[in-house]
């Protein structure tokens, strides 16, 4: 008998799997023929880590809920967290003089308006990309700002480049790397060695900036913008 209680689901399958449900309950899926003792041993060998990860995740989710339930003190932009001026009389979000001006409302309620503001601010990335394109001697057919979540930028076979507005949260060098990456696709649509050689020619430290994008992703998650 296992030291952990769990819900067992027998199915027409070949392997045994174990997961933690949203309510913290362990659920095992096992083949019809799997012996109960084997399943108990499997649970005992794997449950502790799964439950620990679940509890850690719960703590992270609770911290995020608490963070989003309060008016923001700072908001991210261009690789920094800039101060927020809160006002009971403000009706909308705005940005100026390296600070945000916000209504006195929880961050969770401000997210839709904040996304719209970032989209507006992201238009500044178009002149940046054109400057990088001139430096590289490349000419995109079109440049657009979109709301992509899973990618920072993209380049079509017709030479059109898209940048996610979320990239505006990154610092200048990191934005520049993404632009070099996408502009290099105007020459190589794949990620071949030649492609990376071209990227490296214009940004030798591109691996560093690929890591920095992970930091931007964590910032987006922190502020409920992922």
Q: In this structure, are 52 and 129 located in the same domain?
A: no
Percent of the chain with pLDDT over 70: 100
Q: Which residues are registered as beta bridge partners of 27?
A: 7, 19
Q: Is residue 88 part of a domain?
A: no
- Distance (Å, rounded) from C-alpha 86 to C-alpha 193? 50
Q: Is residue 50 part of a domain?
A: yes
Residue 74 has pLDDT above 90, yes or no: yes
Parent domain of 16? 7-68
- Distance (Å, rounded) from C-alpha 184 to C-alpha 180? 6
Q: Is residue 107 part of a domain?
A: no
Q: Is residue 129 part of a domain?
A: yes
Q: Is residue 105 part of a domain?
A: no
Q: Is residue 86 part of a domain?
A: no
Residue 31 has pLDDT above 80, yes or no: yes
Percent of the chain with pLDDT over 90: 81
Q: In this structure, are 133 and 218 located in the same domain?
A: yes
- Please identify, among 68, 86, 104, the residue that sits at the C-terminal boundary of a domain: 68
Q: How many domains does the chain have?
A: 2
What does the pLDDT average to over 112-127? 95
Q: In this structure, are 132 and 51 located in the same domain?
A: no
Q: Is residue 115 part of a domain?
A: no
pLDDT at 24: 83
Name the percent of the chain in helix, strand, coil, to the closest 5. 50, 20, 30
Here the CATH number for the domain that contains residue 188 is: 3.30.2010.10
């Amino acid at each position: 008998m296992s030291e952990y209680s769990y819900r067992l689901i027998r199915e027409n399958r070949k392997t045994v799997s174990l997961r933690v449900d949203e309510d913290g309950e362990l659920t095992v899926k096992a083949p019809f023929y799997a012996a109960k003792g084997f399943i108990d041993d499997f649970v005992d060998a794997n449950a502790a880590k799964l439950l620990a990860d679940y509890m850690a995740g719960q703590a992270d989710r609770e911290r995020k809920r608490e963070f989003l339930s309060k008016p923001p003190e700072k908001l991210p932009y261009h690789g920094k967290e800039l101060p927020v001026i809160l006002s009971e009389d403000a009706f909308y979000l705005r940005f100026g003089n390296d600070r945000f001006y916000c209504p006195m409302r929880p961050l969770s309620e401000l997210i839709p308006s904040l996304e719209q503001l970032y989209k507006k601010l992201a238009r500044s990335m178009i002149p940046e990309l054109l400057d990088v394109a001139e430096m590289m001697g490349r000419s995109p057919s079109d440049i657009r700002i979109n709301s992509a979540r899973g990618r920072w930028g993209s380049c079509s076979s017709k030479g059109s480049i898209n940048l996610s507005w979320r990239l505006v949260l990154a610092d200048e060098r990191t934005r520049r790397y993404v632009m070099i990456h996408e502009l290099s696709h105007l020459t190589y649509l794949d990620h071949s060695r030649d492609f990376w050689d071209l990227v490296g020619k214009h940004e030798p430290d591109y691996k560093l900036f690929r890591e920095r994008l992970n930091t931007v992703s964590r910032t987006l998650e922190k502020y409920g913008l992922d």
